[in-house]
Amino acid sequence: TSSSIRCPPRCLESRVLRRCGATGQPWSKDDEIQRLFTAVSLPRRTAQARQERKKTVVVSLVERQTEGEREMAGLVAVDEVEMKEEEAGGGSVGGSPGKPVEGDGREMTAGKVEESGHRCHVSPGRNGLQRDLKHQMTSPDADTFESLQRQLVSRLEEGQGETIYEVGAGGAMSGLNEEDLRASLATMQALASACGADMSVLRERQAEEGHTADCLVRRRVEEDDFMEVRVAVVGNVDAGKSTLLGVLTHGELDNGRGTARQKLFRHKHEMESGRTSSVGNDILGFNQEGHVVNRTDGHGSLDWVHICRSASKVVTFIDLAGHEKYLKTTIFGMTGHAPDFCMLMVGSNAGIIGMTKEHLGLALALSVPVFVVVTKIDMCPVNVLQDTLKLLNRVLKSPGCRKIPVMVQSHDDVITSAVNFTSERICPIFQVSNVTGKNLDLLRSFLNLLSARMHTNEDKPAEFQIDETYSVPGVGTVVSGTCLQGVVRMNDTLLLGPTSLGEFVPVSVRGIHRKRMPVKEVRGGQTASFALKKMRRNQIRKGMVMLATSETPVACWEFEGDILVLHHPTTISTKYQAMVHCGSSKQTASIISMNKEHLRTGDKAKCLFRFIKNPEYLRPGTRMVFREGRTKAVGNVTKIFPHVPGAFPHGSKPKMAAVQHSHPPLGGGGHGRGKGR
Please give the model's pTM, rounded to 2 decimal places. Answer: 0.76
CATH assignment of 463-548, given 3.40.30.10, 2.40.30.10, 2.60.120.510, 3.30.2010.10? 2.40.30.10
Distance of alpha carbon 374 from alpha carbon 388, whole angstroms: 9
DSSP state of 661: P
Q: List the beta bridge partners of residue 231.
A: 317, 341
In percent, how much of the chain has pLDDT > 90?
49
Residues 6+ apart with CB under 8 A from 50: 82
Query: Which of 54-63, 130-139, 394-403, 600-609 is the least confident region?
Result: 54-63
Residue 319 pLDDT: 87
Residue 171 pLDDT: 64
Distance of alpha carbon 254 from alpha carbon 434, whole angstroms: 6
592 or 33: which carries more pLDDT confidence? Answer: 592
pLDDT band at 512; cut points 50, 70, 90: very high
139 or 199: which carries more pLDDT confidence? Answer: 199
Distance from first CA to last CA of the chain, Å, rounded?
A: 59
Distance of alpha carbon 311 from alpha carbon 309, whole angstroms: 6
pLDDT value at 83 more than 70: no
275 or 546: which carries more pLDDT confidence? Answer: 546
Class of domain 227-449: alpha beta
In tens, the pLDDT along 16-26 reads: 334 344 434 44
CB of 573 closer than 8 Å to CB of 599: yes
In tens, the pLDDT along 231-243 reads: 999 999 889 888 9
CB of 524 closer than 8 Å to CB of 482: no
| Burial of 332 from C-beta contacts in 10 A (0-12 / 13-18 / 19+) | buried
Decide the pairing of beta strands 313-319 and 280-286: antiparallel
In tens, the pLDDT along 454-503 reads: 888 889 999 999 999 999 999 999 999 999 999 999 999 999 999 999 99
DSSP state of 539: G
| Burial of 387 from C-beta contacts in 10 A (0-12 / 13-18 / 19+) | middle
Element (H, E) at 13: helix 9-19
Element (H, E) at 441: helix 440-449
Query: Which of 136-140, 284-288, 403-407, 589-593 is the least confident region?
Result: 136-140
Residue 173 pLDDT: 66
Within this chain, domains 463-548 and 556-652 share the same CATH topology: yes
SS3 content of the chain, % helix, strand, coil (to 5): 25, 30, 45
Distance of alpha carbon 627 from alpha carbon 6, whole angstroms: 36
pLDDT value at 2 more than 80: no
In percent, how much of the chain has pLDDT > 70?
73
Residue 89 pLDDT: 39
pLDDT value at 57 more than 70: no
297 or 271: which carries more pLDDT confidence? Answer: 297
Query: Which of 24-38, 194-208, 274-288 is the least confident region?
Result: 24-38
Residue 99 pLDDT: 33
Query: Which of 105-114, 159-168, 291-300, 325-334 is the least confident region?
Result: 105-114
pLDDT value at 657 more than 50: no
Helices (H), 117-208: 134-138, 142-158, 178-194
Q: List b or e across 279-304, with b for residues whose CB sees 16 or more CB atoms inside 10 angstroms.
A: bbbbbbbbebebebbbeeeeeeebeb
Handedness of CA 10, 16, 19, 25 (dihedral sign): negative
CB of 240 closer than 8 Å to CB of 187: no
Please give the mean pLDDT across all residues of the chain.
78
Q: List the beta bridge partners of residue 513.
A: 518, 529
CB of 632 closer than 8 Å to CB of 566: yes
Query: Which of 50-54, 339-343, 586-590 is the least confident region?
Result: 50-54
pLDDT value at 127 more than 50: no
Residue 270 pLDDT: 64
Handedness of CA 410, 414, 420, 426 (dihedral sign): positive
Give CA separation, 495 vs 297, 464, 475, 498, 546, in Å: 40, 10, 20, 9, 5
Q: Which of 299, 297, 265, 268 is nearest to 282 (CA)?
A: 265
In tens, the pLDDT along 316-373 reads: 999 888 888 888 889 999 999 999 999 999 999 999 988 899 999 999 999 999 999 9
Give CA separation, 601 vs 24, 244, 539, 565, in Å: 22, 36, 39, 5
Phi, psi at residue 337, to the nearest 5°?
A: -95, 0
What average pLDDT score do residues 589-609 get? 95
SS3 370: strand
DSSP per-residue codes, 41-100? --PPPPHHHHHHHTTPPPP---EEEETTEEEE-TT---------HHHHSS---SS-TT--
CATH tag, 134-219: 3.30.110
What average pLDDT score do residues 293-315 get? 86
Residue 33 pLDDT: 54
pLDDT value at 562 more than 60: yes
Query: For the packed helices 440-449 and 241-250, what is the interaxial angle rounded to 10 degrees?
Result: 80
Q: List the beta bridge partners of residue 604.
A: 564
Structural domain boundaries in the chain: 9-62+74-102, 134-219, 227-449, 463-548, 556-652
- Top mean pLDDT of 167-171, 260-264, 539-543 is at 539-543
Give CA separation, 164 vs 192, 326, 525, 586, in Å: 12, 39, 21, 39
CB of 399 closer than 8 Å to CB of 35: yes
CB of 373 closer than 8 Å to CB of 343: yes
Helices (H), 398-438: 411-420
SS3 412: helix
What average pLDDT score do residues 271-288 get? 79
Q: Which amino acid is at 633?
A: A
Q: List b or e across 214-231, with b for residues whose CB sees 16 or more CB atoms inside 10 angstroms.
A: bbbbbbebeeebbbbbbb
Residue 326 pLDDT: 84
Residue 395 pLDDT: 95
pLDDT value at 38 more than 70: no
Residue 491 pLDDT: 94
Q: List the beta bridge partners of residue 518.
A: 513
What average pLDDT score do residues 597-606 get? 93
Q: List the beta bridge partners of residue 306.
A: none
Distance of alpha carbon 84 from alpha carbon 207, whole angstroms: 38
Residues 6+ apart with CB under 8 A from 44: 85
Q: Which of 502, 514, 422 is nearest to 464 (CA)?
A: 514
Residue 507 pLDDT: 96
Residue 669 pLDDT: 41
Class of domain 556-652: mainly beta
